[in-house]
Structure 1
């Protein structure tokens, strides 16, 4: 069997047997097609560990990040595991291949509280000074503020925000059901009255209460406000206020976790709010909790017992 025929079977397996979502399927396609381009006319049974080594080496040569290479390898492993399980190959070549890729541990990039305040102050000032409250541009401005407020208030992922459905948010109480990674659902509540009032205003402006089947955040064509559009929207306001930092939606998620830690919230509560499967994923935020670190060093470091003043 040729590699491209085996890949078609794998696609069917991922879509109809594993029931992977469309975003994951697209990601799988990108990685598996890249492998296919290199071994286009190969018989699937003839691919061996040396071919896989050459492929990994080519990824390094093309300056892919270690995280990206690990992801591509994981997809390919899943592919060959499927082939072996379905008896399309006798032996998975990954079984005889030892790879040890060390990914540099980078701390999450966050926004300072004052930077978030600066962004929101600019947006609310624009909103309050707007003359034409019935205009399309005003509606979109309110939607932009709602998007950023929800990102910061809940720590939601940009994909979860973009795909948030109307029936998943209770506009009166602020309770949001988030459908996250791994098809896991979690509930989080917006408690700030100013944010809740803004959400209600947004709902009236877009008339979304009439259609409970659609998406909560809409673009000017009343279609889903896409992930990329949210990213570009944030970059637009970052440039408007001259913030000397590349701001992404995920930075609001990181800031949400870090700032709650600084206020003494237990890391396990934060884990549940972020939807992390493992506590170890959440614990990385303890490393950027500078407020707590300063407090510990100021009060506990033995140097404070020294006194050399004359």
Structure 2
């Protein structure tokens, strides 16, 4: 397959053996070509524009060459990676199995915390940074709601509707109350410090291996799966937008490209053409 990376590698080989370019030039070519992605190029151009505007402001430059340039890039939309329904179910099953098989108080506490973390990630679709920053007062167990502080200091309140998720959170709170009080954050590590993003990533990798899931899973993929699976259940995309904390509906609409399972089911099994009997004679 002639991917961009393969083409770059072949070109560097060509420059090395056919054009006989020196090592430093080859290295510079390679760096420049590997950075030829829309986001990288846009950032570099933005940096140059800003620099030239500064030179113009300081009157070190009579005319800004970027004023006459119209450079627009079309960035490829990367579809969000999701976890299948079955894989999430297997993942959760392993979590609860580890809790039942815990052979020490330490293992039991870790399992209780890990279950609460994953259940909440999937139940709310919150970002990992939002989860790790939760304070004890952000979770209202009387009304079963959670206050989430998102990007740009935007707040949103979500309901925790699943009884298993609530039970997992209450059990965690019961076992970690003194740690939570000492730390000031809801999710804590064994040193009574705020749980880090990296710790959650290690946690997920651990259970992925135990569950035998042949997929690299990140915390953010639970957020993607939350949105996609809700879409497949015919939930209005505007509700999903609010639950995810997206300021623009266009950000949420990317999930409509991923949610094709429901579409396939409708077109294969529920299209009215399937009910028609046409006389071909």
- What is aligned with 1:184? 154
CA distance in 2, matches of 1:81, 1:271: 39
Question: Paired residue for 2:95, among 119, 123, 127?
Answer: 123
- What is aligned with 1:300? 271
Report how many aligned residue pairs link the two structures.
250
- What is aligned with 2:74? 102
Shift of 1:106: 2.2
- What is aligned with 2:171? 201
CA distance in 1, matches of 2:79, 2:180: 43
Q: Does 1:111 align with 2:66?
A: no
Structure 1 runs (4+) greater than 4 angstroms displaced: 57-60, 71-74, 77-85, 87-94, 301-310
Shift of 1:164: 1.5
- What is aligned with 1:274? 244
Shift of 1:290: 2.2
Q: CA RMSD in A?
A: 3.1
1:214-239 superposed Cα distances (whole Å, 9 cap, x missing partner): 11111111111111211121112112
TM-score, normalised on structure 2?
0.77
Partner-residue secondary structure (3-state), 2:240: helix
Q: Does 1:215 align with 2:148?
A: no
Shift of 1:70: 3.7
Structure 2: state its 5+ residue gaps. 1-28
Q: Which has the larger radius of gyration?
A: 2
Shift of 1:177: 0.9
